[in-house]
Copies of this chain bind each other. A is one copy, B any other.
Amino acid sequence: MAVYTQVSDEALEAFLKEYDLGTPLSFKGIAEGVENSNYYLETSTGRFILTLFEKRVNAADLPYFIGLKQHLAAKGFPCPEPIHGRDGASLRTLEGRPAVIVSFLEGLSPRKPNVTQCRELGAGMARMHLALADFAMTRENSLGPASWPRLWAGHEADADALQPGLSALIAEDLAAIAAAKPQSFAIPRGTVHADLFPDNAFFLGDSFSGVIDFYFACTDALAYDLAVCLNSWAFEDGGRDSIDYNFSKGAALIAGYESVRPLEPTEREALPILCRGAAVRFFLTRLIDWSSTPAGALVKPKNPLEYANRLAFHRKVETAEGYGA
């Protein structure tokens, strides 16, 4: 939620000369995207978003992310479309950072999605999966199950400091996931967003209008995307002492997805362990951010306990029906 890299007048002017976008009319830093610097850019030919990639994004992955968005846009799926410069390239350098201009996508991110929006999101995500079925590039999920023991190591005490006894529960989750080996399930794989939280989806009213921020996208189980969304769209508030799975929202999300792409029996079977795994993934990265942020910092990291609460719910669910499927 910040602008990390300032762009000088000369650098912006020189950068825009590489494009056929006309003259600039507005240029404002926007508080969107945790990892990168984003600017609203308006020119005499339209509105755009200019992104500078900061250090946390691996530059070697950028052609994959840009190729993915170009593929989706070419299929008519609503997402920010990378704009080509005069030389045909869309990835270039600005202020020493990799940078890209993408089309402006209309829509608002719901702060608290309603049931209709959950259904729409499910259907939109399934359309995205289908549109990506013939996307040829691949990328390993760098935050998949293989990475979790490494992320967890050394953070047991941080977990127990947040909630006494939590580290033993997380160790149980990791053991259960390792035993289930969800990554080896014979379930459909493809290109997934892997971070499709409400702030990465746009709506006009209750109608789905697009997806942004593909910087965790990777090749993984399609149903893992559904698991990420059940965690991020169908739980409410996630207060310290409450575990609030909103069954109506979860059921609507799954029904919306299945209205476009019905789940296979193996995917339904895997859903509880995938949901548990997705919650572990976000718990772990939040725990690391939480414990590495000094107490007096102005930017508060997100509370890992919100995902510990979700895990408490997932541990009890044995079938897809438990999520409303």
Q: Residues on A close to B: CB < 8 A?
A: 1-3, 6-10, 12, 23-32, 40, 42, 104, 106-108, 110-112, 204-205, 294, 296-299
Contacts and interface: CB of A to CB of B under 8 A. Distances in A.
Contacts of A297: 296-298
Nearest to A11: B111
Nearest to A294: B296
Contacts of A294: 296
B40 A28 contact: yes
27 contacts: A2-B2, A3-B31, A6-B111, A7-B111, A8-B112, A9-B110, A9-B111, A9-B112, A10-B112, A23-B204, A24-B108, A25-B106, A25-B204, A26-B104, A26-B106, A26-B107, A26-B108, A27-B108, A28-B30, A28-B40, A29-B30, A29-B31, A30-B31, A296-B296, A296-B297, A297-B297, A298-B299
A298 B12 CA distance: 26
Query: Which label, helix, strand, loop or mixed, suits the secondary structure of the A interface?
Result: loop
A314 B82 CA distance: 49
Contact of A32 (B25, B28, B42, B204): B28
Contacts of A299: 298
A299 B296 CA distance: 12
Contacts of A110: 9
Nearest to A40: B40
A112 B10 CA distance: 9
Given A2-B2, A25-B107, A28-B30, 18 more contacts: A1-B3, A7-B111, A9-B110, A9-B111, A12-B108, A24-B108, A25-B204, A26-B104, A26-B106, A26-B107, A27-B108, A28-B40, A29-B32, A30-B30, A42-B106, A294-B296, A296-B296, A298-B299
